[in-house]
Amino acid sequence: MKMTFRWYGKDDPVTLEKIRQIPGVTGIISAIYDIPVGEAWSYERILELKREVEAAGLELSVIESVPVHEDIKLGSGNRDLYIENYCTTLRNLAKAGIDCVCYNFMPVFDWTRSDLAYQLPDGSNALIYNDETVQNMNPLTGDLSLPGWDASYTKDDMRALLEQYRHVSEEDLWANLKYFLDRVIKVAEEVRVKMAIHPDDPPWSIFGLPRIITNKDNIQRFLKLYDSPYNGLTLCSGSLGVSPENDIPDLIRSFPGRIHFAHVRNVKITGAHCFEEAAHKSDCGSLDIVEIMKAYYETGFDGYVRPDHGRMIWGETGRPGYGLYDRALGAVYINGIWETLEKLGGNR
């Protein structure tokens, strides 16, 4: 296992220098944020990012994400051009030594929450999700602010996009995903970049849009769409774990060799389709993080791991879910579990 930490680039108040001081963190997860979705990333820009990370004594481990243009998910417009650009980006990433790319296939919205700074009883702030609140939000009015939100959409773009999706069923989305994989994974195999799809967060439909990477059966279906180790997963415990039907240790054991990137975090299920993000420690939420790490250990996982969303603690302010302190505690906690598993050995 290689412990990593997400860094949002030069504007991130959590600097590379700070990340370097977290015990056991050696890798950085990042992306190039100013290239419009759909355009190819040049080799020079990738190299620039890599050099910056390396100058701080860290390694650029995974790209999270190379985003997928909506035309590809819609199966319309310029999808062939955008797929071609995607393949160029993969080739350039490989040339710069990157071997793992995270992406998602969620229509329009990435991860979604109803409150970005809900106050917990201990005074910390966490992201929470209440289904009723979210389903009553209107993406076309100005009051919506989501952490994974692409702020570059105007209201008119958004209206047009949502209108286009009205004609896209779940089965259409599967077909469009297969069309994408058939072209992109071939290149990923050629240049040896492991593609790792991120599950939908939350793993159910929002705003009437289809979502398909949501549970064990669908993940199995996804992996069979293109049966290759290069067509793999980012197994995000927090995204899938808010559905009681998803048993995370079982999922980890079910897809050996296909999980390339592990997002480890805890969540507390507070009702049907309702949850709070919790501190990483098992007894703070509904997931057993020791059992999760044990499943990785026992299946010989040697991919990348990162702590995922943290609460805001000790007065920290910043990017929701991506402060320094709580994520750093998460990294050290996960490393502690891993070290114990390694020292106790057995079952591997």
Show which residues are catalytic.
198, 236, 263, 308-309, 322
Tell me the torsion sign for CA atoms 153, 154, 155, 158. Answer: negative
* Amino acid making up residue 169: S
* Burial status of residue 151 (CB atoms within 10 A of its CB: 0-12, 13-18, 19 or more): exposed
Residue (198 or 260) nearer to ligand DNO, CB = 198
Which residue, 122, 172, 110, 177, is CA-closest to 146?
Answer: 110
d(CA 179, CA 254): 25
- 130 touches ligand DNO by CB under 6 A: no
Among 86, 103, 129, 296, indicate the residue that binds ligand DNO (CB under 6 A). 103
Stretch that binds ligand DNO, among 44-52, 98-106, 244-252, 282-290 (CB under 6 A): 98-106
At its nearest, how many Å lie between ligand DNO and the CB of residue 344? 30
Q: Which is nearer to ligand DNO, 226 or 261 (CB)?
A: 261
Q: How far is the CB of 33 from ligand DNO (least distance, A)?
A: 12
CB neighbourhood size of 122 (10 A):
9
| Residue among 215 and 341 whose Cβ is closer to ligand DNO | 215
CA pair distance 262, 2, nearest whole angstrom = 10
Among 69, 73, 194, 198, binds ligand DNO (CB under 6 A): 198
Residues 232-271 contacting ligand DNO, CB under 6 A: 236, 263
Q: Quote the least distance from Cβ 20 to ligand DNO, whole Å.
A: 22
Q: Which residue, 139 or 199, is less far from ligand DNO as judged by CB? A: 199
Residue 79 — φ and ψ, nearest 5°? -60, -35
65 binds ligand DNO (CB under 6 A): yes
Ranges within 12-51 binding ligand DNO (CB under 6 A): none
Partnered with residue 268 across adjacent β-strands are 276
CA 194, chain centre distance (Å)? 15
- Contact assessment for residue 202 and residue 147, using Cβ atoms and an 8 Å cutoff: no
Structure tokens given for 116: 């970005």
Which listed range, 7-15, 97-105, 220-228, 333-341, lies at the site for ligand DNO (CB under 6 A)? Answer: 97-105
Instruction: Give the footprint of ligand DNO on residues 152-191 (CB under 6 A).
Output: none
Residue 239's closest CA among 213, 210, 220? Answer: 213
List the one residue from 107, 139, 307, 321 that touches ligand DNO (CB under 6 A): 321
Find where tokens 């469009």 sit. 176
The dihedrals phi and psi of 141, each to the nearest 5 degrees, come to -105, 165
* Position among 148, 189, 191, 319 found at the interface with ligand DNO (CB under 6 A): 148
Q: What residues line the site for ligand DNO (CB under 6 A)?
A: 64-65, 102-104, 110-111, 148, 198, 236, 263, 309, 321
